[in-house]
């Protein structure tokens, strides 16, 4: 007889996880959230780049730090991406000018 209520089955349910299985794909995750697949892929790309940089990884230990790290990753990505796009648009002979 248990004094404080509950039974063995409910105690076992607390201990054994019921959410075991395969991690959902980016597509499945996006569908569950009702967003585009590319959004989840972009989140994963940001997360991987943050984890690969020790300074950004240390900064990302808090929600505010993660936001700063994500902004830094996107800034780095835009700096390296911009000359490529401009070369594709203008051709290799044109210089990039910031007006």
52-86: pLDDT as tens digits? 999 999 999 999 999 999 999 988 887 655 556 55
**Which alpha helices (DSSP H) does 7-95 contain, by range?**
8-15, 26-33, 37-52, 54-59, 63-90
Asked whether residue 11 is assigned to any structural domain, the reply reads no
Asked whether residue 46 is assigned to any structural domain, the reply reads yes
DSSP 19: -
Asked whether residue 16 is assigned to any structural domain, the reply reads no
Whether the CB-CB separation of 83 and 67 falls below 8 Å is answered with no
Q: How many domains does the chain have?
A: 1
pLDDT in the model for residue 91: 60
Asked whether residue 6 is assigned to any structural domain, the reply reads no
Say what percent of the chain tops pLDDT 70.
Answer: 58
The predicted model scores a pTM of 0.53
Supply the range of the domain harboring residue 83. Answer: 24-90
């Amino acid at each position: 007889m248990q004094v404080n209520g509950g039974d063995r089955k409910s105690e076992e349910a607390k201990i054994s996880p019921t959410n075991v299985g395969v991690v959902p794909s980016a597509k499945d995750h996006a569908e569950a959230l009702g967003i585009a697949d590319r959004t989840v892929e972009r989140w994963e790309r940001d997360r991987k780049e943050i984890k690969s940089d020790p300074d950004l990884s240390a900064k990302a230990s808090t929600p505010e730090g993660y936001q700063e790290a994500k902004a830094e990753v996107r800034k780095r990505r835009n700096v390296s991406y911009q000359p490529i796009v401009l070369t594709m648009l203008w051709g290799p002979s044109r210089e990039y000018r910031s007006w």
